[in-house]
Amino acid sequence: MVGLANRLINRPILATIHTEALNHNLNRVRELAPESKTWSVIKAKAYGHTLQAALQGLGSSDGFALLDLEDAQWLRDNGWKGRILLLEGLFHQDELAIAQSLSCDLAVHCESQVQWLESFKGSLTKPLNIFLKMNSGMNRLGFTPAEYRTAFHRLHAAGYPMHHMTHFANADQIDGLPSVGGQVDCFNETIEGLQPVPSSLGNSAAILWHRNALGDWVRPGIMLYGISPTGVYADIVRSDLQAVMQLRSEIIDIQNLKKGDHVGYGGRFQAPEDMRVGVVACGYADGYPRQAQDGTPLWVEGGGPDGESIVCPLAGQVSMDMLTIDLREAPNAKIGSIVELWGSEVPVDDVAQMSGTIGYELVCALAPRVPVKIL
């Protein structure tokens, strides 16, 4: 592998997005939910992976689900002719004409959105598909069961093509309440007797573990990016998903410590013996979690005793632009050695667990200053 420092940038840090892995993960969704169409969720710029990579790697999706009209416009400008679902609907009434011009489907979750659509029905020039959101127990967005049927009848009467939708709170847990079963029962009881229309229920966790609770449209998000809804990397292995984002940098300096020396701000790490620490060009200003604890894994290419690649532990507080790693088991690590922060060698879920967070947050928080390469 050519050293990253050979690229024409100042700092040797690079996020590589593997679109073949995106396509592989989408195919896994299809294998797990063969009777459902797929909304590939690409909100937050495809969970930090870029819309360009999503369009390239997920282009065979039945539709894209996102939040912002700006992102919908980008998809249309870049050739996407399929369906687009705005997962939180519209935020202002004057966005309706824009959504119609972009042929967006709309999630509808509150009374004001219903009123806007009723007022807009005389201006319709093409169908606006509605995904009516039911609050079946998560208590975030959506109509309560007592409100849902009235909202459905009003929008159906206004001539909008209707779909049912809800979202699971605990599909990634065994004992969490509300349970998937409880939410499905609530959903089915509420829509009983309404005109039969397509439904959308299953998120990533439901696709993996509750395949009796999917609906006509599934909405995979985090699993498309090779990250576990539970934060447990073993789930990814068992599900045959592939990591999509690979964040790598280099060792830019090596310090030789004496026993008792401290490392970094606050001196959190103290050398238990004479040892080497490597300084890596990556810090919290790049999106690496400042709260990462000593022992968080990092992969060093060719650093092992026999020149093999090896995983080394974080040693000391993460700084804005740098972090330090324990090289006691990596005698061949040197300045210029490539280090993987997360990716195919170091699961982002493992980094997240050592940082008190979830993989979602880490990939979404990749800093704009980090260059991105799409393969």
CB 334 within 8 A of CB 256: no
DSSP state of 252: E
| Region label for 336, one of left (φ > 0), alpha (ψ between -120 and 50) or beta (otherwise) | left
Question: CA–CA separation, 206 vs 118, rounded Å?
Answer: 33
Residue 245 one-letter amino acid: M
Determine which one of 37, 43, 81, 259 is catalytic. Answer: 43
Determine which one of 121, 259, 265, 373 is catalytic. Answer: 265
The values of phi and psi at residue 196, to 5°, are: -65, 120
The residue among 144, 86, 139, 136 whose CA lies nearest residue 116 is: 86
Asked whether the CA dihedral 137, 141, 146, 151 is positive or negative, the reply is negative
Look up tokens 């539970």; give the residue: 230
Quick check: is 265 catalytic?
yes
By residue count, the chain amounts to 375
Q: Kindly list the catalytic residues.
A: 43, 265
